[in-house]
Amino acid sequence: MGVSVALVITMLELVGLFTFATSGALLAIQKGFDAVGILVLAILTALGGGILRDLIIGDTPPAAFTDVMYLVVPVVAAAVTFFAHPLLQRWTFTVLIFDAAGLGLFCVTGTLKALRFDLGPLQAVLLGVMTAVGGGVLRDITARETPALVQADSSLYAIPAALGSAGVVGAYHAGLPLGIVGTAAAVFVFGLRVVAMVRHWRAPRAWTRRRPEVGR
């Protein structure tokens, strides 16, 4: 994979860091956290999935500890959110919108990095999904919320990320331009997640057989 793909990964990750950090800061403000708590939740949300990804593939130290921009961007996002949050209405949905943007961006960057490290197609999809959902899971656990990933009544979350990652893997093996495909995949995942939230699309549950009523 060429230098241009590495540049795409970096640019998408920086945008993803900002959006995920914003979602973490918004949730912290919603929970009544102080400035330190807002900063911690923003950084944890932005960097958690990427750090886990880098540790799994052996890219150490993780990018968050070798490139200062990976720390600067979440700090800036937390500061902007701290002062600008009165302009943002409908807290819960705003958090979910920023989370959806981060989901789309990080599933792409996680998959691209997995492919750079010569992982197989299924492993690349799995790592892309883990990169996308890892920060959000850590954010929700820290804020004492049930992670959206495992909520019984949650709209589609991991499935859009998996579809986006699979699209990137397919484009890679087909020799398509990954910069264009990666951007399109991020937009697709974001759009699908937002539509799923609006229309309340949920993943199927385990089928259970209803017992016949007796005595009626």
Task: Please write the tens of the pLDDT for every residue from 64-106.
Answer: 899 899 999 999 999 999 998 877 656 667 778 888 888 998 9
Structure tokens at 103: 């989901």
**pLDDT score of 172:** 93
> Can you give the pLDDT at residue 3?
45
How does pLDDT run across 20-35, given as a tens digit for each residue?
899 899 999 989 999 9
Q: Are 38 and 25 in contact (CB under 8 A)?
A: yes
Name the percent of the chain lying above pLDDT 90. Answer: 55
pLDDT digits (tens, 9 = 90+) for 96-110: 888 888 899 899 999
Q: Identify the residue whose tokens are 């579809």.
A: 163
Q: Are 30 and 139 in contact (CB under 8 A)?
A: no
* Beta carbons of 39 and 100 less than 8 angstroms apart: no
The Cα–Cα gap between 139 and 148 comes to 10
> 34 or 154: which carries more pLDDT confidence?
34
pLDDT digits over 5-15, tens only? 667 777 888 88
The pLDDT, as a whole number, for residue 149 is 80
Query: What is the model's pLDDT at position 98?
Result: 84
Please give the mean pLDDT across all residues of the chain: 87
Task: Determine the average pLDDT of the residues in 137-143.
Answer: 92
Is the CB of residue 111 less than 8 Å from the CB of residue 165? yes
At 202, the pLDDT band (50, 70, 90 cuts) reads: confident
Given a cut of 90, whether residue 212 has pLDDT beyond it is no
Query: Which residue ranges make up each domain of the chain?
Result: 3-199
> What is the per-residue pLDDT for 210?
65
Number of H helices, E strands in the chain: 7, 0
Output the pLDDT for position 9.
74
Tokens of 128: 């892309």
DSSP letter for each residue of 25-56 = HHHHHHTT--HHHHHHHHHHHHHHHHHHHHHH
**Residues 134-158, mean pLDDT to the nearest whole number:** 85
Other Cβ atoms closer than 10 A to 15: 18
